[in-house]
Amino acid sequence: MRILLYRGDGVIEPWAREFASIMPHAETVGWKEGEVLAPCDYAVLWNPAPALLEQLSLQSQLKAIFLMGAGVDALLKFGASLPEVPLVRLGDAGMGVQMAEYVAHAVLRYFRRFDEYEQQARHGAWHPLPQIPKEEFSVGVMGLGRLGMPVVEAMRHFGFPVLGWSRTPKSIPGVETYAGMDQLEPFLRGTRVLVCLLPLTSETANLLDRHNLGKLKPGAYLINVSRGAIIAEPDLMTLIRSGHIAGATLDVFRHEPLPAPHPFWNEPRISITPHISALTMRLEAVRQIADKIAALENGQPVGDLVDRTLGY
């Protein structure tokens, strides 16, 4: 069995080592621009080059493409030029707990007013601030999937009122759930801290614009950990400057790395991290892919298949 390993950043050596230890019977190969790709049974990719996808489309032996991450937008943007084989994303693979840690840190920072204490300390000020009543600090999670659900559970653990929004209706004990565009408005109106864990699709691109962000409770907070293009960035700046949004914690951006002149860098109410809220755990990811390859080889179904029509 031959497996292609490819990453846009070129770092495949550590992946090849994990595959060698977990699937010693499989041969792994790489690919560079201008090379002719040897016939492969499976491809394991992240940010593939268009020329590589062209070659993969011509391979009759290829059985499936696996992604080294959870988001599929960077692959699905190639549309009809993608090979007609199953596309399989990573399941949780150690990312759920990281998302819960990241979001819990950001929510608690705002709820316990640590952001304000950080500012005070810089000026040598000692002023205990009144505690915010928890019942006024509702957390609305957009996207109740593999990464959204661990966040919901963490928020419930801390006793915050939790709302959830998804495409299809869900029933989650202790969570006020909403589904579909018709119920977006009541979800947003009930939310003080908005956590975005939606995939980037044609339906979610620019969804969080001035109109929708403006429906959040006054003094709201935004935590975006999925994809930057879901937010209309200039609208977010406008709402932060007006005070309607009190602060934002952003891990993902329309253009990454966030360009040096971007106004977000100079806005003290915006906290920036470089797309690290949930990192791919390589060993866990390779184990998961190896199990799925074994299932496919035995004619068994696999989970985490990407629906090309829905876009996630």
Counting residues that bind ligand NDP (by CB under 6 A) gives 30
Q: Which of 42, 110, 221, 312 binds ligand NDP (CB under 6 A)?
A: 312
Calpha distance 259→295 (Å, rounded): 43
Residue number of the CB atom closest to ligand OXD: 69
- Tokens 């959040």 locate to 216
Widest CA span of the chain, in angstroms? 69
Q: Is residue 102 classed as helix, strand or coil in its secondary structure?
A: helix
Q: Which does 96 bind (CB under 5 to 8 A by kind): ligand NDP, ligand OXD, none?
A: none
Please identify, using beta-carbon distances, which residue of 53 and 100 lies nearer to ligand NDP.
Answer: 100
To the nearest whole angstrom, how small is the minimum distance from the Cβ of residue 119 to ligand NDP? 26
Decide if 246 contacts 217 (C-beta within 8 A). Answer: no
Q: Which of 87, 240, 278, 289 binds ligand NDP (CB under 6 A)?
A: 278
* Binding of ligand OXD by 69 (CB under 6 A): yes
- Tokens 């928020």 locate to 155
Calpha distance 18→287 (Å, rounded): 9
DSSP string, 210-254: HHHHTTSPTTEEEEE-S-GGGB-HHHHHHHHHHTSEEEEEES--S
DSSP string, 258-282: PPTT-GGGG-TTEEE--S-SS---H
Q: Which of 71, 140, 148, 228 binds ligand OXD (CB under 6 A)?
A: 71
> Is 189 noted as a catalytic residue in this protein?
no
Please identify, using beta-carbon distances, which residue of 23 and 285 lies nearer to ligand NDP.
Answer: 285
Contacts of 52 (CB under 8 A, 6+ apart): 6, 31, 37, 45
Ranges within 156-175 binding ligand NDP (CB under 6 A) = 165-168
Calpha distance 66→93 (Å, rounded): 13
Please identify, using beta-carbon distances, which residue of 41 and 251 lies nearer to ligand OXD.
Answer: 251
Q: What secondary structure letter does DSSP report for 208? A: B
SS3 content of the chain, % helix, strand, coil (to 5): 35, 20, 45
Site string (90-119) toward ligand NDP, x via CB under 6 A: -----x------------------------
Of the listed pieces 51-59, 69-77, 202-210, 304-312, which binds ligand OXD according to CB under 6 A? 69-77
Site string (269-298) toward ligand OXD, x via CB under 6 A: -----------x------------------
* Binding of ligand OXD by 155 (CB under 6 A): no
Catalytic pick from 275, 282, 287, 308? 275
The count of residues in the chain is: 312
* Binding of ligand NDP by 154 (CB under 6 A): no
Please identify, using beta-carbon distances, which residue of 163 and 222 lies nearer to ligand OXD.
Answer: 222
Decide if 186 contacts 215 (C-beta within 8 A). Answer: no
Decide if 3 contacts 43 (C-beta within 8 A). Answer: yes
> Is 227 noted as a catalytic residue in this protein?
yes
Decide if 228 contacts 176 (C-beta within 8 A). Answer: no
Q: Which of 28, 191, 226, 288 binds ligand NDP (CB under 6 A)?
A: 226
Site string (249-268) toward ligand NDP, x via CB under 6 A: --xx----------------
Catalytic residue numbers, as ranges: 227, 275
Provide the binding-site residues for ligand OXD, judged by CB under 6 A. Answer: 69-71, 280
Provide the binding-site residues for ligand NDP, judged by CB under 6 A. Answer: 69-71, 95, 143-148, 165-168, 197-201, 203-204, 225-227, 251-252, 275, 277-278, 312
